[in-house]
């Protein structure tokens, strides 16, 4: 009987993890500026995190040859020569994870010049981690309580 | 009947082949110019021949990164030279001579070394004798240090300077401006009733009165495209290649005079009042025309027109002076 109660708690916990909106920290849109250095064949920083609704400015600073920066999903790009910082402004209105890459041939390893833009806290990642932990616990729990489980219909209700 | 038809068929086929083939033939005959970063050879070929008044067809492609192509001192739009693509270009020269073509997209520390020549043959009616640059006639040693002994305590303002500019013991003219440094103006005003700050303000006013908003904007554009990678976008000598140049200088220990060995390879800081207040436009022009001769400062004499260089110089002083908009 204890076990049934525990199972209920696990199910509720699962539902909470999966569906409760994560709005305990209300996120007001901000203006964010990133200064990204580009050189053959990497960006630094190569990972950007913003919140949905943020007004984002990316300044691209090339330090060797001409590089570009194209953001998948947003379909916008800039190009920078060394000495001429280029700026890209956009509203992060599409949540998710997007790849950005160099769209100017800048040498042999050019196709590997990539980075990542994450818009929004990565909720699905956290939720699925939480859910799998709960699943693991319940699996373990159900296994160990199986014999008593069979008797449950008689004792309860 | 049959033969006539055959004949006309042959004729039509020949006409079509000719119409398509002739331009194709000429296109394939224009040599393809390859662009590579300077370390890997720059332009091949790097000498092109042409004749006055005859169109010169060029095909350009890049073997590595993005480059650009333009001809110095020529009124033309630069074109991009991209890897894996062929750019067509037609040029017409109306004066014989040796022209310099150069890369217009930054492709590394040695980008500015990517240059070649176009030898344009033919006779011309007007051959102006090249006049010696101002620093030569004024006998300025452009390699000597030229720091101003004193510097302004605040940024000199052209607006304030204008109010003192009447009744000055100096005559403002283009020649006067080009031959003197702001410090010389400051010094010449020392026996007037003006305070030191006011004397610097007058210099700012004189400098502004010898340029225009248009020239400054043009200078700024040229500076961003050609100078900022070394001298910094804000003129502070901290461009993206500044550290590379300094490192190169340290390894090469290149020196012309011995005493300023380490600074030889560091791009000049135009925000430094000592340097700029002590430099006349003629001195800066000399440096830009001739280059540093091994310091890392390129020579621009064959690239820019005289007017473009004066515009650049006017812009360089704007890091020091507050101009009214
Ligand atoms: Cu790149
Ligand atoms: Cu180049």
User: Beta partners for A100?
Assistant: A71, A115
In this prediction, the answer to ipTM > 0.85 reads no
Q: How far does B31 lie from chain A, in Å, by closest CA?
A: 23
Q: What is the reported pLDDT for A25? A: 57
Give per-residue pLDDT as tens, B236-250: 999 999 888 878 777
Interface test with A, best of B70, B83, B106 (most A CBs within 10 A): B106
Confidence of residue A15 (pLDDT cuts 50, 70, 90): confident
State residue B255's pLDDT score. 46
Is any Cβ of chain A less than 8 angstroms from the Cβ of B11? no
Question: For position B200, which CATH number holds?
Answer: 1.10.760.10
| Cβ-defined contact of A105 to B107 (cutoff 8 Å) | no
Q: Is residue B10 part of a domain?
A: no
Confidence class for position A81, pLDDT limits 50, 70, 90: very high
Is B87 inside any structural domain? Answer: yes
A44 in B contact zone (CB under 8 Å): no
> Average pLDDT, stretch A118-125?
73
Residue B242 at interface with chain A, using a CB cutoff of 8 Å: no
Say how far apart CA B88 and CA B107 lie, in whole Å.
Answer: 21
Rg (CA), chain A: 24
Q: What is the DSSP string of chain A?
A: -HHHHHHHHHHHHHHHHHHS---SS-----EEEEEEEEETTEEES-EEEE-TT-EEEEEEEESSB-EEEEETTTTEEEEEBTTB-EEEEEE--S-EEEEEE--S--STTGGG-EEEEEES--HHHHHHHHHHHHHHHHHHHHHHHHHHHHHHHHH--
What is chain B's mean pLDDT, rounded? Answer: 88
For residue A109, the chain B residues in CB contact (below 8 A) are none
Same-domain status, B98 and B186: no
What proportions of chain A, in percent to the nearest 5, are helix, strand and coil?
A: 35, 35, 30
Determine, for residues B83 and A61 on separate chains, whether the beta-carbon distance falls below 8 Å.
no
CB-based contact B236:B223 (threshold 8 Å): no
Q: Is residue B80 part of a domain?
A: yes
- Closest Cβ opposite residue B65 in set A63, A83, A107: A107
Stretch (H or E) spanning A114:
strand A114-119
Q: Looking at the structure, do residues B186 and B309 belong to the same domain, yes or no?
A: yes
Q: What is the largest CA-CA distance in chain B?
A: 108
* The pLDDT of residue B245: 83
Question: Regarding the domain delimited by A31-120, which CATH topology (the fold level of the hierarchy) does it fall under?
Answer: Immunoglobulin-like (2.60.40)
- Residues B144 and B251 placed together within one structural domain of the fold: yes
Average pLDDT over residues A41-56: 93
Domain ranges (residues) in chain A: 2-22+126-144, 31-120
Map residue B101 onto helix, strand or coil. strand
* pLDDT of amino acid B262: 40
Full-prediction pTM beyond 0.80?
Answer: yes
* Same domain membership, residue B159 and residue B107: no
pLDDT at B75: 87
Q: Is residue B3 part of a domain?
A: no
Last residue of a domain, one of B65, B100, B121: B121
Is the backbone of residue A105 left (phi > 0), alpha (psi -120 to 50) or beta?
beta
On whether both B105 and B217 belong to a single domain, the answer is: no
Domain that holds residue B44: 28-121
- CA of A81 from ligand 1 middle (Å) equals 11
User: Domain for residue B16, yes or no?
Assistant: no
At residue A28, the pLDDT reads: 80
A104 at B interface, C-beta within 8 A: yes
Q: What's CA B175's distance to the chain center, in Å?
A: 22
Residues B44 and B168 in one domain: no
**Chain A CB within 8 Å of residue B239 CB:** yes
By mean pLDDT, which of A22-26, B22-26, B45-49, B51-55 is the weakest?
Answer: A22-26
Rounded to a whole number of angstroms, the distance from the CA of B149 to the nearest CA of chain A is 32
B66 and A66: CB-CB below 8 Å?
Answer: yes
Whether B154 and B193 map to the same domain: the answer is yes
Q: How far is B10 from chain A (nearest CA, A)?
A: 47
Structurally, chain B folds into a number of domains equal to 2
Q: How far is the CA of A40 from the centre of ligand 2 (A)?
A: 15
Distance CA(B88)–CA(A66), nearest Å, equals: 21
Cα gap A96→B146, rounded to integer Å: 57
- Strand A47-50 and strand A67-71: the pairing is unpaired
The answer to the question of residue B19 being in a domain is no
């Amino acid at each position: 009987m204890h076990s049934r109660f525990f199972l209920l708690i696990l199910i509720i916990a699962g539902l909470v993890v999966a569906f409760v909106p994560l709005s305990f920290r209300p996120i007001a849109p901000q203006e964010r500026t990133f200064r990204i250095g580009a050189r053959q064949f990497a960006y630094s920083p190569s990972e950007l995190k913003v919140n949905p609704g943020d007004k984002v400015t990316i300044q691209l600073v090339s330090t060797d040859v001409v590089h570009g920066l194209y953001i998948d999903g947003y379909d916008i790009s800039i190009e920078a020569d060394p000495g001429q910082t280029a700026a890209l402004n956009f509203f992060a209105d599409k949540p998710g994870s997007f790849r950005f890459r160099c769209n100017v041939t800048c040498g042999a390893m050019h196709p590997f010049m990539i980075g990542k833009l994450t818009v929004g806290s990565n909720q699905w990642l956290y939720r699925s981690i939480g859910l799998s932990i709960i699943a693991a616990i319940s699996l373990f729990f159900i296994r160990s309580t199986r014999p008593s489980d069979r008797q449950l219909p008689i004792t309860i209700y | 009947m049959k033969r006539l038809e055959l004949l006309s068929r042959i004729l039509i086929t020949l006409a079509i082949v000719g119409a398509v083939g002739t331009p194709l033939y000429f296109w394939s005959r224009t040599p393809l110019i390859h662009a590579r970063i300077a370390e890997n050879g720059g332009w091949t070929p790097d000498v092109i021949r042409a004749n006055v008044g005859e169109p010169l067809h060029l095909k350009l492609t890049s073997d590595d990164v993005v480059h650009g192509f333009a001809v110095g001192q020529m009124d033309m739009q630069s074109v991009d030279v991209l890897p894996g693509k062929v750019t067509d270009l037609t040029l017409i020269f109306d004066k014989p001579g040796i022209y310099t073509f150069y890369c217009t997209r930054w492709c590394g520390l040695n980008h500015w070394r990517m240059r070649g020549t176009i030898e344009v043959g033919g006779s011309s009616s007007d051959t102006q004798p090249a006049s010696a640059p101002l620093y030569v006639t004024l006998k300025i040693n452009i390699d000597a240090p030229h720091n101003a002994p004193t510097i302004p305590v605040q940024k000199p303002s052209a607006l304030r300077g204008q109010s003192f500019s009447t009744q000055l013991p100096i005559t403002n003219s283009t020649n006067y401006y080009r031959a003197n440094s702001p410090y010389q103006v400051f010094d010449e005003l020392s026996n007037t009733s003006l305070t030191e700050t006011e004397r610097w303000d007058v210099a700012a006013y004189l400098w502004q009165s010898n340029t225009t908003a248009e020239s400054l904007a043009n200078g700024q554009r040229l500076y961003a495209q050609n100078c900022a990678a070394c001298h910094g976008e804000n003129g502070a000598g901290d461009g993206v290649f500044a550290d590379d140049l300094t490192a190169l200088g340290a390894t090469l220990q290149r020196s012309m005079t011995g005493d300023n060995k380490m600074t030889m390879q560091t791009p000049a800081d135009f925000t430094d009042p000592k340097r700029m207040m002590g430099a006349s436009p003629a001195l800066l022009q000399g440096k830009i025309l001739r280059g540093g001769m091994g310091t890392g400062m390129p020579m621009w004499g064959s690239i820019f027109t005289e007017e473009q260089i004066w515009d650049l110089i006017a812009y360089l002083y704007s890091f020091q002076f507050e101009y009214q908009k």
